[in-house]
Amino acid sequence: MKSNKNRLVQWTAGVLLAAAIGAPGAYAQQPGDSGATASAAAPATTPAQNRRAIRKADRLLAKQVRRALVRVKGLDSGRIVVIARSGDVTLGGSVPEAGQIALAHAAAQGVSGVRSVTDSLSVKAAGQ
């Protein structure tokens, strides 16, 4: 719910921003413009493209964290869910033993691009 609200706020802000700078931005994108002048009048990317780029970066970071977790000796990462949001990583789901929570946390922290790690892991083994 919280993340949805954030997304809504971001989206609304993006629309307002687009409306505010929409008119001058159009001039900057005239065909034949070298692009050197574009930066003066308007951002090179629209908010929608920005959001897409951010989401893509988040997905890539989550993938890198999952890859790091699966390589940790003594950690079963099969049930860990990695949620990345601009460098802030949340580890959800479960691990089979309590001792593995610290392993997962340390491994996620060690991935380049990770700013913070929040644990929300529960302990649940096979047969539990």
Least separation in angstroms between CB 69 and other proteins: 6
**69, 44 contact by CB (below 8 A):** no
- Is residue 89 within the footprint of other proteins (CB under 8 A)? no
- Is residue 21 within the footprint of other proteins (CB under 8 A)? no
Contacts of 61 (CB under 8 A, 6+ apart): 84, 87, 89, 111, 113, 114
Least separation in angstroms between CB 114 and other proteins: 15
What is the CB-side half-sphere exposure of residue 19 using CA atoms within 13 A? Answer: 6
**Two tokens, residue 49:** 């493209």
Choose which of 7, 52, 56, 67 interacts with other proteins (CB under 8 A).
67
**Two tokens, residue 51:** 């959001």
> Which residues form the interface with other proteins (CB under 8 A)?
1-3, 59, 62-63, 66-71, 73, 77-79, 81-83, 90, 92-93, 98-99, 101-102, 105, 118-124, 126-128
